[in-house]
Structure 1
């Protein structure tokens, strides 16, 4: 089954591609009668993995699914306005706290879908700097900059606060997950020092030997969870989809499997998600058995 997105879901249904994909409804006619559910996400490796897996499971249950990649701010606004039905990408209680405070009465938090997250500043393991407090004394080794991700991300807001807390002389440079990883890869290839904003789970920790800088001032807070959040009214409108989203929960290792698959050259996140779902039907059954 191919990913059903904003431009494809009607055409794919009419071609009958949904019918042969093992949908829970068992027929194309039933699938076409199902509602379309809209999932929003941010272009973080972790959220690309989880959102595509959830989309594959919802498709297996007979739903048409639209996926939309947005900035963090736009993602939460889309959820509040009803332009998106659900996200599985809310990092709480810290990273996305401001967004949730603004829209809290317009959405429903279904709780964590993954435990064991961490945020902070990361360097290659060979770098002999161990704490954020040591960065100023070694700023020139890092070109006087911290390599960040998209400017609307909660992690960037936390890093701006960390820069103030530690009175850092390094400039926070915004970009994206992809540009951050590219800069890290280039630095490691050349055995250079680099400091980046990062989080766990992320596939790069499986590829390279990295370490978090100690955070004695606790600027990044403690461990977080990734939550599933839906718009108000979804349970009434699409109770089966709501139940699947409510039951969705997996581990960092399981997410890591999908993230690594997505890093293979030429791979497609939607196809990888479908492959993982097919190979882990025992796990998926727990999400569908509600």
Structure 2
């Protein structure tokens, strides 16, 4: 990936977006876009860093840091940058990010794929059977989104969401309209949503949140998805590996590795639990790699 002036400007913009989207979750090892651009102009393809772009969510941090470790173990220097979701899709489409290893398709991020997909390569499914939707504690006595309106007062007429612009937030807006819900969707950070959820459970209060699986909350709390008979959130999703156009030709060895990169939802969730406990993302990835050498061999085709 030849980094020209236009690309450097684009990455600098992504840094600003990333600082907003991450809301304090960006780790030091997830390099800023300015760092990613520094010194790359005159390098050959073999010497260039593989730029991995992710939003600030923990499933992305889990997969990206495992991928980074695997690539660097094979001599392919890699760097992670964090940005908002729309910025990631745009940057991959404009060849300013090489790899996006945690897209949610075909349902959750469909608007972004519809907008940018013609200029992006769909490599493979990292994980199948992922799910997102509206989630409540197990003790809440409803089972369907259709029951939210008649129980509006118990939820204070509020759905607790995550960062604005996330695919699940866009789908939630559609669900509010399609199910004729007199509810407000409150945006927050993913951490903020999880905190509100835990506080409600501690007090046995009714709460409904936008949430997805894999996510560490399902290992720590008794939760359930509300049924979605209109299929607004889709039955299931895939966590998908995307690359910029031309990446396979420029980096055939790296492409071979990422095309074999698969982690099931349980493996991703295990890393997310360590992240929630405060472990550094690189350390959490290293722990998983150390405990799963046979999986790394799968990625490498050994």
SS at match of 1:50: helix
Q: Which TM-score applies when normalising by structure 2?
A: 0.84
How many angstroms does 1:70 deviate by? 1.2
Q: Does 1:5 align with 2:31?
A: yes
| Moved segments of 4+, more than 6 Å | 7-11
Q: CA offsets, 1:5-26, max 9 Å, x none?
A: 3487899xxxxxxxxxxxxxxx
Q: CA offsets, 1:51-104, max 9 Å, x none?
A: 111111111111221111111111101111122101111111111112112222
User: 1:3, 1:271 within 8 Å by CA — same for their partners in 2?
Assistant: no
Q: Does 1:288 align with 2:288?
A: no
Could you tell me how far apart the structure 1 residues matched to 2:89 and 2:36 are?
A: 24
Alignment of 1:125-164 (within 5 A): 125-164=138-177
Could you tell me how far apart the structure 2 residues matched to 1:273 and 1:200 are?
A: 19
Aligned to 2:54: 41
From 188, 196, 200, the counterpart of 1:183: 196
How many angstroms does 1:279 deviate by? 2.1
Q: CA offsets, 1:233-269, max 9 Å, x none?
A: 111111111111111011111111111111113x101
- Calculate the aligned-residue CA RMSD, in Å: 2.0
User: 1:114, 1:225 within 8 Å by CA — same for their partners in 2?
Assistant: yes
User: 1:9, 1:64 within 8 Å by CA — same for their partners in 2?
Assistant: no
Where do 5+ consecutive residues of structure 1 fail to align? 12-31
Aligned to 2:108: 95
Could you tell me how far apart the structure 1 residues matched to 2:30 and 2:162 are?
A: 28
Where do 5+ consecutive residues of structure 2 fail to align? 1-27, 39-44
From 126, 146, 168, the counterpart of 1:113: 126
Could you tell me how far apart the structure 2 residues matched to 1:57 and 1:176 are?
A: 29
Q: Which TM-score applies when normalising by structure 1?
A: 0.87
Aligned to 1:255: 268
Could you tell me how far apart the structure 1 residues matched to 2:211 and 2:149 are?
A: 19
Q: Does 1:226 align with 2:252?
A: no
